[in-house]
Amino acid sequence: MKILFANPPYKVSLGKGLERYFVRAGSRWPFSMVKSEKKKPDYYMPFPFYLAYAASLLEREGYEVEVIDGVALDLDLEVFIDLVVKCGPDFIVYETATPTLHYDAEVASVMKEKTGAGVIFTGPHATARPEEILNRFPQVDYVIRGEYEFRVLELIRRLETKKSLENMDGSVFRSNGSLVVNEYTQIISNLDDLPMPAWHLFPSRQNNDLSIYWDNMCQIKPSAQLHSSRGCPFHCNFCLWNQVMYREGKYRVFSAKRVVDEIEFLQVNHHVRSVYFDDDTFTVSKKQVFSICAEMERRGITIKWSCMGDAMAVSEDMLRRMAEMGCIGMKFGVESGDPEVLKGIGKPLDLQKARRIAKLCAKLGIKSHATFTFGLLGETRESLRKTLEYAKSLDVDTIQFSITTPFPGTRYYDDLNARGLLRSSDWKDYDGLGQCVVQFENLRYEEVEEFCQRFAGRWLRHKVVHPNWLLRQIRYLGRVLYGQGLPGAARMGRQALRYIVQ
């Protein structure tokens, strides 16, 4: 039996040589980006970990497994479909997402018609709305909810042996003209039970170039993305994966040995020079961070690395140890500069501590990247102003910004829906790139969109007049020149210029 793990491309022409493409599998929040039609994405391309763990697991169990990551390969849909047909799968597994649900279903229909394969949907929207999918889209045969790696394996085994699915945790399917919806009650307690991701199959068996997957925090190429944990002990009301995929379950870690085994494997087999820990939050456990650093030191592993951290949990001695063992970059979520907004969303961030962490990162040579999101519960014109002023005062090197999207299954969505504050019921509008679907009680949604468009430019124009910040960026530019060459430095320059002229 052949199983295809797919990531279908979704590109929309915008005219004048530009196109919008959607990022889904591998990202904790689905959204779109804009690029030239003639160029491949070069700013951000997440590695689809859950597809990769599932592919590795099924391959280990003796199934024939193939992968086509059409997003990473920047394929046109016609080319992607041709590759699927040539693959000839018995089942096709992929993650759907809220803003691309209808498109994903259309692609499923074409693939099913041309191959006769069964279609299995996974991911957060499928987890939150399985009945919607199976009732509206007959081309989708099964939905697997939550963490799906072991569940996909169990589903395939049961189908192969003609065993009933009636009591299979997290499975949703049709039976005798009605739907059977099984709750997903379990999360993976021991992450080491998962095999290493099937890196050798991505983005396809024929094009096994992991350098396609990229996050700007990596700084040095070739790089690879890793996980050292899953989940988060904090419970922000808008967070999609923690609420929907993990059911706000406990924070779990891979063993330090397992993490360093993967680093060593990637160094030897894929010649990587840096790694990025794309965890939900890498720094939440001091014991875990120190264990990974100790294991790297014990084995003599030297590599530059970055992480998705957290200013709420990281400590000064942790940061110093991280820098000592090769850390050169850290992201952390701020979300808002208004303490009342942070309190309302359930994020216990001390804004003064975040300032101290940013300054220490600068001192240690750790490039810092803060993320903000606009349109949170309780947002006002004043809270937006406070966020901008706070961002200006924060001594970070780069920022990321978005409009908060209330995805189905989150408390934020449920609250807004109950209060009649959602502007749209069309899932295509749930793309946080620049569109707000919330009608606030004391703030027009157009103001949120305009603020998002101008935020980065206002922040950067403030920063470039500070000599210490500029000198630090010149040092980091030298790191990028060493690690990526002129193309990487040029990419940084283009991004900065785009922010300035906004």
Contact by Cβ (8 Å): 404, 375: yes
> Could you list the residue range(s) of the whole structural domain that residue 43 is in?
2-181
Question: 9 with 153, same domain?
Answer: yes
Q: What is the mean pLDDT of the chain?
A: 93
Domain termination site, one of 181, 208, 224? 181
Specify the pLDDT at position 501. Answer: 44
Whether 486 shows a pLDDT value over 90: the answer reads: no
Question: 59 with 11, same domain?
Answer: yes
Contact by Cβ (8 Å): 203, 67: yes
Counted domains in the chain: 2
Confidence of residue 477 (pLDDT cuts 50, 70, 90): confident
- DSSP letters along 255-322, please? -HHHHHHHHHHHHHHH--SEEEE--S-TTS-HHHHHHHHHHHHHHT---EEEEE--TTT--HHHHHHH
Tokens of 433: 């790139």
Contact by Cβ (8 Å): 427, 99: yes
Q: Which residues pair with 120 in a beta bridge?
A: 93, 142
Residue that wins the pLDDT comparison between 294 and 488? 294
Place of tokens 């908060």: 404
Whether 499 shows a pLDDT value over 80: the answer reads: no
Q: What is the pLDDT of residues 452-470, one digit of tens each?
A: 999 989 999 999 999 999 9
Pairing of strands 31-36, 18-23: antiparallel
Question: 164 with 278, same domain?
Answer: no
Peptide bond into 203 cis (omega under 30): yes
Place of tokens 């790089």: 223
Would you say residue 197 lies in a domain? no
Question: 225 with 83, same domain?
Answer: no
Specify the pLDDT at position 342. Answer: 96
Question: 279 with 358, same domain?
Answer: yes
Q: Which residues pair with 304 in a beta bridge?
A: 274
Would you say residue 187 lies in a domain? no
Q: Which long-range contacts (CB under 8 A, 24 or more apart) does 123-126 make?
A: 123/24, 123/25, 123/94, 123/95, 123/96, 123/97, 124/97, 124/98, 124/240, 124/241, 124/244, 124/245, 124/407, 124/409, 125/96, 125/97, 125/98, 125/101, 125/407, 125/408, 125/409, 125/427, 126/95, 126/96
Average pLDDT over residues 395-414: 95
Average pLDDT over residues 123-152: 97
Question: 297 with 153, same domain?
Answer: no
Residue type at position 202: F
Q: What value, to the nearest 5°, has the Cα angle with vertex 96 and ends 92 and 102? A: 105
The phi and psi torsions of 131 (rounded to 5 degrees) equal -65, -40
Q: What is the pLDDT of residues 429-443, one digit of tens each?
A: 999 777 899 999 889
Pairing of strands 214-215, 44-45: antiparallel
Coil, strand, or helix at residue 46? coil
What is the gyration radius of the CA atoms in the chain, in angstroms?
22
The 3-state secondary structure of 285-299, one letter per residue? CHHHHHHHHHHHHHH
Question: 6 with 128, same domain?
Answer: yes
Q: Compute the distance between CA of residue 491 and CA of residue 496 in angstroms, rounded to an integer.
A: 9
Would you say residue 208 lies in a domain? no
Q: Compute the distance between CA of residue 313 and CA of residue 288 in angstroms, rounded to an integer.
A: 12
Q: Compute the distance between CA of residue 121 and CA of residue 127 in angstroms, rounded to an integer.
A: 9
Residue that wins the pLDDT comparison between 293 and 486? 293
Question: 126 with 34, same domain?
Answer: yes
Contact by Cβ (8 Å): 423, 438: yes
> For the chain, what is the largest distance between any 2 Cα atoms, rounded to a whole number of angstroms?
70
The region of weakest confidence among 54-68, 116-130, 212-226 is 212-226
Would you say residue 16 lies in a domain? yes
Contact by Cβ (8 Å): 118, 111: no
User: E-assigned strands of 2-51?
Assistant: 2-7, 11-15, 18-23, 31-36, 44-45
Give the containing element (helix H, strand E) for 440.
Answer: none
Pairing of strands 91-95, 118-122: parallel
Q: Compute the distance between CA of residue 146 and CA of residue 494 in angstroms, rounded to an integer.
A: 39
Question: 160 with 236, same domain?
Answer: no
Q: What is the pLDDT of residues 160-218, one digit of tens each?
A: 999 999 999 999 999 998 999 999 998 999 999 999 999 999 999 999 999 899 888 88
Question: 301 with 404, same domain?
Answer: yes
Would you say residue 87 lies in a domain? yes
Residue 482: CATH number of its domain: 3.80.30.20
Confidence of residue 502 (pLDDT cuts 50, 70, 90): very low
Q: Which residues pair with 174 in a beta bridge?
A: 179
Tokens of 28: 């904790």
Q: Tell whether the torsion through CA atoms of 328, 331, 337 and 338 is positive or negative.
A: negative
Would you say residue 200 lies in a domain? no
Question: 252 with 172, same domain?
Answer: no
Contact by Cβ (8 Å): 253, 283: no
- DSSP letters along 79-98, please? HHHHHHHHH--SEEEEE--G
Model-level pTM? 0.95
Tokens of 452: 């998002």
Q: Tell whether the torsion through CA atoms of 489, 492, 494 and 497 is positive or negative.
A: negative
Coil, strand, or helix at residue 385? helix
Q: Compute the distance between CA of residue 143 and CA of residue 210 in angstroms, rounded to an integer.
A: 29
Residue 175: CATH number of its domain: 3.40.50.280
Coil, strand, or helix at residue 105? helix
Would you say residue 209 lies in a domain? no
CA distance readout (Å), 10 to 22, 137, 143, 390: 6, 18, 21, 36
Specify the pLDDT at position 29. Answer: 85
Question: 239 with 157, same domain?
Answer: no
